[in-house]
Amino acid sequence: MSDVPYGVRHAALATALAAVLAVTGCAPEPEAEPPPPSTGTSPPNTLAKVDVGDALTVTATVDQVVDERALVVRDVDLADRSLLVLTRRPVEATPPQLLSAEGTVVRFSYRRLAARHHLTDPAAYRTFEGQKALVASQVTVWR
C-alpha cells in the first residue's frame, strides 16, 4: 500500500471502519414499535380495583334484565362475576348479548337511585344494596 496515495488510503480506512461499526451494532438503534392499542377490556379483578366515583368501562355479557334501565352483566373479571349497570335511557338487550358500558362506579342504594333510573320492584335490587354498581353514561349493545 505504499504506492497508494495517502488520501485514498485514509478514505479506504474510514470506509472500512464505518462498515465494521455498522456490522457490529454501533449503528443507531431502530425506533421501537408503539405498543398495540388497548382493546378496552377490563383487567382481572377490575371491580375490586376501582373506588366509588372512579370511571369504569366494562365489556361483558348480559346476565339478567332487571328493569328497562337496569341490568346485570356477568364477566370473570368482575367481583362476584357480576355487576349491576344502571342506564339513563332504556337499553334493549337480552341475555346473553355482549355489551360495553362506560360510566361511574357508585355504591348502590335503591332509595337514592330508584327515581332517577326508574327502578321498580325494590325486592329485585335487595342483593345489590350497598354493593358497587355502574351508572353508565354510554352503553353499546353488540348484536
pLDDT digits (tens, 9 = 90+) for 85-122: 999 999 999 999 999 999 999 999 999 999 999 999 99
CA angle 101, 46, 89 (to 5 degrees): 15
Q: Are 73 and 58 in contact (CB under 8 A)?
A: yes
CATH architecture of 46-142: Beta Barrel (2.40)
pTM for the model: 0.67
Phi and psi at residue 25, in whole multiples of 5°?
95, 15
Give pLDDT tens digits for 16-47.
655 555 555 554 444 555 444 444 444 445 66
What 8-state DSSP symbol labels residue 131?
A: S
Give pLDDT tens digits for 52-90.
999 999 999 999 999 999 999 998 877 678 899 999 999
Domain ranges in the chain are 46-142
